[in-house]
Each structure stands twice: as structure tokens, then as C-alpha cells.
Amino acid sequence: MVSKYILMAIILSGLVTWIPRMIPFILAKYKGLPAIVERFLKFLPVSIIFALILSSVVTGKVGSFPQIKWLDFLAVFPTAFVAFRYRNLVGTVIFGVALIAVLRLVF
């Protein structure tokens, strides 16, 4: 059985890692972004986003062909659908993390 001390340590550790990651999303949604940041984001090429996604789905070793991480690759498509359908960044991130967690648990 888990003691109250360990359970509290786990909960507080989770909050300490979760809060700094969520604050930017919350501030961007309710407070808005500065005009210069919005201008920059409008010119952010799709190729950069694609490169970020590709680098997380493919691993490479010197002297061999790239290997696809199939679970991560399968999670890209439903997560992209949620992103385009609902246009909610926090919801998309939560959905993607939950989906990859379920896929890794099952497979």
C-alpha cells in the first residue's frame, strides 16, 4: 500500500511539471499574444511543423535507413484530425498524449 507521503510527493511532482507547461497555453488563450509574436507565427512555415513531427516519428542511425516508430506514426493522424476539427491546442495536446499512452499500453 502506498503511504500518504509518497502519494503526496507524486501529486506535487505532477503539479510542478504540469503547471509550467500549461501556463503558456492559458495565457495565450485568454490574454493573447503580443502583435510581434502573432506576426511571427503567421509566417511560420508548415515545413518546420512537418519537420518537428517527422523527427519525433522517425529515428535514424548512421549507416542505416531511417526507422519509423509505428505507434507514434499511427498517433499522428488522429491527433491531426482533432487539431484541424476542433482548433484547440490544449485539447489536441491532451488527446495526442492520451492516445500515445493508450497505444503504448495496448501494444
Euclidean distance between CA atoms 66 and 60, whole angstroms: 5
pTM of the complete model: 0.56
- CA-CA-CA-CA torsion sign (101, 91, 82, 93): negative
pLDDT value, residue 71: 92
pLDDT value, residue 57: 92
pLDDT value, residue 47: 67
Residues 6+ apart with CB under 8 A from 67: 58, 59, 60, 61
pLDDT value, residue 49: 75
Torsion, CA 74, CA 75, CA 76, CA 81, rounded to 10: 110
Instruction: Tell me the pLDDT of the chain (107 aa) as tens digits.
Output: 679 999 999 999 999 999 988 888 888 888 888 888 778 777 766 667 788 888 889 998 899 999 999 999 999 999 999 988 998 888 988 999 999 999 999 99
DSSP 3-state percent helix, strand, coil across the chain (nearest 5): 75, 5, 20
